[in-house]
A and B are shown apart, each in its own frame.
Chain A
Amino acid sequence: MPLYIGGIGLIIKAENLSYTYAEGGPFEIGALHGVSLTIGKGELVGVIGHTGSGKSTLVQHFNGLLKPTAGSVTVCGVDTSAKRADLKAVRQKVGLVFQYPEHQLFEETVRRDIAFAPQNLGLSPTEIDARVREAAALTGLPEALLDQSPFALSGGQKRRAAIAGVLAMKPEVLVLDEPTAGLDPRGREEILAQIKALHRETDITVILVSHGMEDIANTVGRVFVMNQGTIAMEGAPLAVYSRYEQLEQMGLTAPQVTRLMKTLCGVDVCTVKQAKEYLLGVLRRA
């Protein structure tokens, strides 16, 4: 797994980032307070945190949709709050899949909806067609569905179509805000597996926001834990999950298997697979 080392291959950097919604109004809400982080090129990182901890707010800074109230965010070498920042270029490089992205579908057919982003980039019709097919294949949408209305699809299929709509931009960084929320276990696993495969096969950087502690442990190499608008912890899933008492104080629960294995054998694991390997090792030695 490619890891960020020193300043090499840095792709996203936030320094002391703070953000306040409705600044100056009666309903002012401070959503982020002094967040600093760096994400390296080709990394697959996760962001977890309780509801309202600022995950969505944070990732919207990564493609310049929100600009810091204080501090700065640098994406692919561009300071997003600079006066002449080319945000269009940044948005093309950083594809952001929103929470419940199926709410953004609008075209008559799935094909045309996926083609919306490449069209906005001004690509040729053949290139657009190629990208639509590729994106549909990557998200596991069968060809046959492409000419249906997006509103006739099932929830999981709509989700895939919406993700494909962002992938068709061929972004360098893919940010997914809870891509599996509201899906059944099978759909969840399929989408996560596709994200992992995409990351393995291309040099794309992926940032995955999720509530599913196990999903994160199974998928990412590094995880940020957000708590009340700040980054409370950061590190490999195993290192973070082993401090599950602290996580519980932040309204998060480590995977059951982590707690079970800690109580049973006093070891730190964060996935069922790791637990299985450990137990098999113990059995073999016995």
Chain B
Amino acid sequence: MSTLKNGIVCSPAIHAPGEREITFSQAIREAVAEEMARDERVFVIGEDVAEAGSVFKVLVGLLDEFGADRVIDSPISEAGIAGIGVGAAITGMRPIVDIMFGDFTTLVMDQMINQAAKTHYMSGGKLTVPMVLRTTLGASRRSAAQHSQSLHALFSHIPGLKVAVPATPYDAKGLMKSAIRDDNPVVIFEDKMLYQQKGPVPEGEYVLPLGQADVKRAGEDITIVATSSMVYTALEAVDKLAEAGISAELVDPRTTTPLDTETLIESARKTSRALVVDEGYQQYGVTGELAAVIADGAFYYLDAPVKRIGAMNVPVPFSPAMEDLTIPSADYVFETAKAMCG
């Protein structure tokens, strides 16, 4: 049992078995450190990642453990370090490129979309780009429109890239390790608000496959699909639904590309209703794709149209009076799900 960011206590079903509890941040650090120890081709590059251990303190200690050749403080040159990541990956290294805020990934778009994503295909399978781009997503830190976006849909749109959006420490560690070992460019989005989130993570070695959803709560009446920190928002709604006599199933895809369509469709077929929640802008977003996949695959089993809830289609405003309105809330998820079951 553990206390989540919303102060609610969740059942062990959300977690993998294991006694030890560590934070999301520690889970990421462990994954990176284990992979660096295991494979000397792995290195980390980014702004303030070495001496400062990253601005969110996620990488503290790596510099001491692996030295300045493998944990590299870069200039504020996002396009440059992404390019270095691509080039180093093609020539035998396994770089982890750190982009502090997901908002700054706009600066690496050419390197990621036209270079990293295309190289393997364009070379007829000759070249590979085994790199990881780790970055953040999520609002609600009163950081305004250029430090609050959830831009994972942009990368999910691109064939050739893989995208992970872990919600729990357990998932974060397992997915990060797989991402580092993967022969493709993988972008990992970590919600800034989750770094202090604790959860059980086993001591031993494990990896989680990219492309495997996780049923975080089993239920009968409605499927709620949620990503990243929206898993906790949805979980709060699931508990409220239970009080209202509605049994909801919570499915976390964990990666948007590749997407575990099977689990999503199977769950929706079983419950006959589906609601998708994601913190990216709703328009042309992850919710649209997931809803379409479910509508397609479960059409004949559905008792209601598939619904989706994303962030409002506005730049994230600074004022607390406005910012909170733009993000999916547990109440809104609850009301929407309840209405669908009515």
Are A and B co-members of a single complex?
A: no
| Chain A residues packing against B (C-beta within 8 Å) | none
